[in-house]
Each structure stands twice: as structure tokens, then as C-alpha cells.
Structure 1
């Protein structure tokens, strides 16, 4: 694939479709009353429609149907993504119980792993290789469900989850290009384009939210694309995706520990997330907080690319980043 002429349609078409569909999604959302209402936990004002994910999903699927005769092995990803999207949309409309939402995510992950055979072949931990199929299948399963929820959890500020998802997806697509994996490039470009068409409406001050349908769809698809690209690498398995997804993964893990220590349910929302700390505690403001988290995500994405080409230098850079992250956590008391 020529990097420019070959790749452009896979990004441009979903971008245009999404750009056109977002206003339509907003109108439908208002008519159906599907909007986020201001409360003590939110940071927005007024009623904001939360159906942006409909435009992202439609743009992604329609563009792939038009441009690409996908291999049957990828049907598991597309079917699973549709299941998790439907579950998220129902949650946006009816506010589903957490167990029902998890059921949709589990079903989608199983579909991707069984139909798409999207599980790790081996798990490499430094010099050790684990070939146990049950262990690798379960690790892949928890990766998909975990990243689906991680992207959903950082969806707390205008443009945050969508912008970070673009950076993450483009980085995975670039690594796919270096690996010579056309399928990874196409999926990453299509998802990036679909989200990019939505971002102008979602950046602060947002006129529409991505909703659970969009956040879960983005998280699920990113998790699957990353498995598709790195399940056979000789580096530490999932090491590069973990680096690229450092912000959502670390924020989720800290949230789990924080809520456990407070005796709260994991599903109970709070204002202890990284973006809340930056915006409220450090008083950086809405837009600046989002841009800072974009920059940090780009830094870890760059470290992942460096690690792919030069593991030694990449590891040194990662250690520096982690030391800085630890100092920040101690300073803010996260």
C-alpha cells in the first residue's frame, strides 16, 4: 500500500461520512431525549446529546463495506464491535444495569476471540514464553473487556476519549504499516477517520457527546486491532499496546484501587480520575487539561514506536516517563 494514495480513501471516506452524520445524530438524540443531564458529577452545562457514537459506528462500517472486501477472519471484530455498540446504545437510551452492560461486552469479546480467532498465540514476559492456550485466551479476553471499559472511563471531558482514541489508533496503524500489515492499517485508518469527523463537534465546548455506544465501540475496536497486530510479536506481549494506551489503562487501574479503598463499587462514578485532578484540583481548565492528556498520550505513543525499532532506548525512555508519572501521583495524591 502506498502510504499516501493508498491509505487516504480509508481515512477520508469515514471522516466525511462521520462529519455529515453527527448533526443528524444530534437532531435524532434531541427528539428521542437521549442526552446527558447536568448533575453533581458532570462538568458540562445543560443538556448534551450523547449519540455521537452512532455517527462514528456508521461511518466506520459503511466505509469498510464500500472500500474493502475484508477477510472472513475479521468478521469476528466487526460482529463483536456491533454487539458492544448495540449494548452501549441501549445503555444510552435506557441506562442499563452494570451487569447487563458487562454481558454485552463479554459476548462481544467471545465473538471476536472465537469467530475471529483473535487471541494471543504466545505470551512473552521478558525471556519466558507462555504457550498455554487457555491462559492466552483468557488474557486476550480480559484485554478486550478491560480496554473497552478503560476508554469508556476516560470519557469525562469534551474531546478526551475521542482525541486519545485517534492518537492511539493512528499509532497502532503506523506500527501496522511498519509490520507490513495491510489489515491493521485499514482498520486503524477507518476508525481514526470516523472519530476525527466527530471530534470538531465534541471538542470543548462540546455540542454532542460520544455516549456509551461510541466510547465502548472505540475501546473494543482499539483492543481488537491491537491484538491483531501484536499477538505474534517477539517483544513483551501487549507491551507496545500497553504503552500506547498508558493513560486509559493507568487511570482505570488507579480508579479500581481508589474505589476499593473507599469501599465503593467499581461502577460508582466519582471525580477522582486523572482529568478531574488536572482540571479541578490543579485548576488547569477544561481545554488545557484535554490538550495535556493528548500530549502525554502522544509521548507514550512515541515511546512505543521507539521501542519497536530500538527496545533498549525505548525502555530507558519508558523508565523516565514512569518516574515522572509516579512523582505526579505522589504530588496530586491520586
Structure 2
């Protein structure tokens, strides 16, 4: 098990720094703006990610043994942090943010953090080659934006990130990757300290400097920790990030069907729909709970593949049914429900014909 200092020191530093960041926000007027999509009221700092970043970097300087891969992750994470911080202070256009996400991904590729070879069952080996370059960029941009999109409720992005980091760190213990373990638990501790002030009702938000930094770090750590061996080791980080991935894909489909730009925000994300029914605090608990269940299914799979696959499938079906019933993508999008209705009609015909 990781040493307690991997949790406690970044946690303590983050707890101390977050109130200082709140005070600085008064000086630089870095407040979250209220609009029709927001669920907060009043002047609340939106640069809380500064505390997460500083707490993590201070502890990384003490605990992390820097090699080329680690340096690439820290450098790329810094690119995303400062990109988000500039956006929080003066607002930058989405294409500019996307360009810097690609730059951060290129830093990872330069440091050697990418998927090179994928080994499938029956001895099948896939060499990504040049596709590895494109896959890494798409992966980093996709996961970074997925975490950024779920940062809509108090404690949601931070809570889900802590769960993802802890589970990934525990899975890294099985692969005996001390570098991945250390980074995961340091970042989880720093984020947990921030959550003391960000949990509902939040007195500070992490902002893009926090969500983009966390999203990039999660995407980079997953590539660093699971870039080799089998299809399942690559699927594990995808499984842990399933909720934000589904939310992102749903947003793309929804906005495309409505003729909207992808960068055009709305209030039809999973967390918005859940909040309308279950309230703010319960929605955060439900989504964090689902993330934990996906993480648990990964462990179950390692112990029993058939049972683990069944658990994963059951959770995915539940999420899909919620998406269809809530009309999250479209009122006409209901493949599973439609299939079930057709099966029922066919069954009735067969029974009545006898």
C-alpha cells in the first residue's frame, strides 16, 4: 500500500492553499460568471485548480523520481494548467484551447508516453505505427475535454477524478508500477484537499485550470500505466472514464442532431438531467458511485473474467436506459427500448399464432 504521506502531504498543502487562492480571487476578480447554465449564485472563485496544481507539483518534486516519461507528463500537465488559467482569467476561444491540448499531447509523444503495440487474444499483435501518434492526440484531447465537461456541479469533477486516480493507482500496484502509483496518489490527495471547499455547497470552483489539468493528467497516466500488453489493460482506463466518455459522445450526437456547434454549451449533460430529478448533492453521489462501480468491475474482471464482463455490461445497460428515457440525445433515440418493444411484439405474435 502507498505510504500515508502520499495522501496526507498533498492533502494538507491543498487545504492550506485553497483559502489563499480564494483571497487572491478577490484581487484579480476571477469569479465564475452566472448564466442560464450555471447552478451557483454569488461571487465564487473559479481558479481553485491553482491549489491542486501547486500542491501536486510541490509534492512531486519531493516524491517523484523524474525520468523522461514523468517529465513529459509534468510538462504537458503544466501546459494544460496555464492554458486553463488564462481561460479562467480572460476567456480564450475553444479552438485555441484545443490547439494547446494538442501541444500537450505532442509533449507526451516526445517523452515516449503513447500506445505502441496492442496484443490481442490468440497471439494477434497490432503495431500502431504512425496511428499511435494520432491515437495519443485524440486520446488526450478526448479525455481532457470529457473531464472538463463534467465540471458542472459542486464536487463532481473533483470527486470522480479522485475515484479514478485511486482505482488507477491500485490497479498499477498489480502491474508493479511505482511511478504510476506515486503520481496517482499525490494527485488524488491534492484534489481531495480542494474538495473540502468544493463539495456542495461549494465556496470555490476548480475552473478550467483545474479540470483541464486533471483531465490531461488522467489521460497521460492511463497511457503511461497501461500502454502495453493486452486489449483489457488498455480498456481499463476507458472503463474508469466511462461516464465522462459517454457524456461527451452524447453531447456530440445531441448537438449534431440539433444543428448546434460542439463548442456550444447546453444543460442536457448527464449531471444536469440527474440534478433535475434527484437534486445537487445526490447527483454528485450517484455519478461518483457509478464511477466507483466501473472501477470495482475492473477488479472483478481481474478475478473472474466472465463475472467481470457481466457486471460491466449490466452497468452500461443501466446508463444506456437512463440516456434513452431522459431523451438526453434525442426523443427519438431509444435503440434498447425499441429493441425490447419489438421483441415483446414478436413474442406476442408467436404465442397468439399457436
TM-score by length of 2: 0.89
* Structure 2: runs of 5 or more not aligned: 329-354
More displaced stretch, 298-307 vs 181-190:
298-307
Runs of at least 4 residues off by over 4 Å: 124-128
Unmatched tracts of structure 1, length 5 or more: none
Deviations 1:205-262 (A, max 9, x none): 0000000000000000011111111111323352111111111111011001101111
Q: CA RMSD for the aligned pairs?
A: 1.3
Give the match for residue 113 of structure 2: 118
CA distance in 2, matches of 1:138, 1:231: 15
CA–CA distance in 2 between the matches of 1:203 and 1:108?
29
Which residue of 1 is the match for residue 296 of structure 2? 302
1:67 & 1:327 partners in 2: Cα distance?
A: 44
The C-alpha deviation readout for 1:27-48, integer Å capped at 9, x for no partner, is 1112101110211111111121
Q: Choose 60-69 or 80-89, whichever is displaced more.
A: 60-69
Aligned match of 1:210: 206
Which of 263, 266, 273 lines up with 1:267 in the alignment?
263
CA distance in 2, matches of 1:132, 1:164: 30
8 Å contact from structure 1 (residues 126, 236) kept in 2: no
Distance in structure 2 (CA, Å) of the matches to 1:132 and 1:204 = 44
Q: CA shift at 1:263, angstroms? A: 0.9
Question: How many equivalent residue pairs?
Answer: 327
CA positional deviation for 1:67: 2.5
Q: C-alpha separation between the residues in 1 aligned to 2:63 and 2:228? A: 27
Q: CA deviation at 1:124?
A: 4.6
Matched, 1:38 2:34: yes
Q: Secondary structure at the match of 1:96?
A: coil
Contact (CA 8 Å) 1:22, 1:55: kept in 2 or not? yes
Structure 1, residues 285-325: CA drift from partner, whole Å, max 9, x if none?
10011011111111011111222333222111111112222
TM-score when scaled to structure 1? 0.95
Deviates most, 39-48 or 151-160: 39-48
TM-aligned CA deviation for residue 152 of structure 1: 0.2
Distance 1:309-1:179 versus aligned 2 partners, 3 A rule: farther
Distance 1:7 1:137 in 2: 35
Distance 1:205 1:160 in 2: 12
Which one of the candidate residues 57, 60, 70 is aligned to 2:56?
60
